[in-house]
Copies of this chain bind each other. A is one copy, B any other.
Amino acid sequence: MFSLFGRGRKQIVAPKLKPRNKATQTVNRVALGELSPDLPRYLGQAAYLQLSNFETITGAIAGSPTTHDKVALARVARISLNKLEGLIAEIERGGDKPEDLMEHFAAPVERYRSTTRGNDWYETVVTSYITAGMLTDFFTALAEGLPAAPRDRIVTLLTENEPSPIIVEALRSAIDAEPALASRLALWGRRLVGDTLLMARSSLEVPGGSTPDEARLEPIFTELIAAHTRRMDVLGLTA
**Residues in A lying within 8 Å of B, measured CB to CB:** 1, 4-5, 7-8, 48, 51, 54-55, 58-59, 61-62, 66-68, 70-71, 74, 77-78, 81, 84-85, 88-89, 92, 97-99, 102-103, 106
Q: A58-B59, A58-B61 are in contact. Are A4 and B85 (CB under 8 A)?
A: yes
Closest 3 CB pairs of A and B: A58-B58, A68-B99, A67-B99
Query: Does more than half of chain A's interface fall in helix, strand or loop, or is it mixed?
Result: helix
Of B66, B84, B106, which one neighbours A74 at CB under 8 angstroms? B84
A61 to B102, CA, bound (A): 14
In the complex, A7 Cα to B98 Cα: how many Å? 11
* Chain B hits for A66, CB < 8 A: 99
Interface hub of A67, A78, A84, A85 (most chain B Cβ within 10 A): A67
Cα separation A66 to B15 with both chains bound (whole Å): 36
How distant is the Cα of A1 from the Cα of B4 in the complex, in angstroms?
A: 15
- Are B71 and A98 in contact, CB atoms less than 8 angstroms apart? yes
Most B Cβ at <10 Å: residue of A58, A66, A77, A97: A58
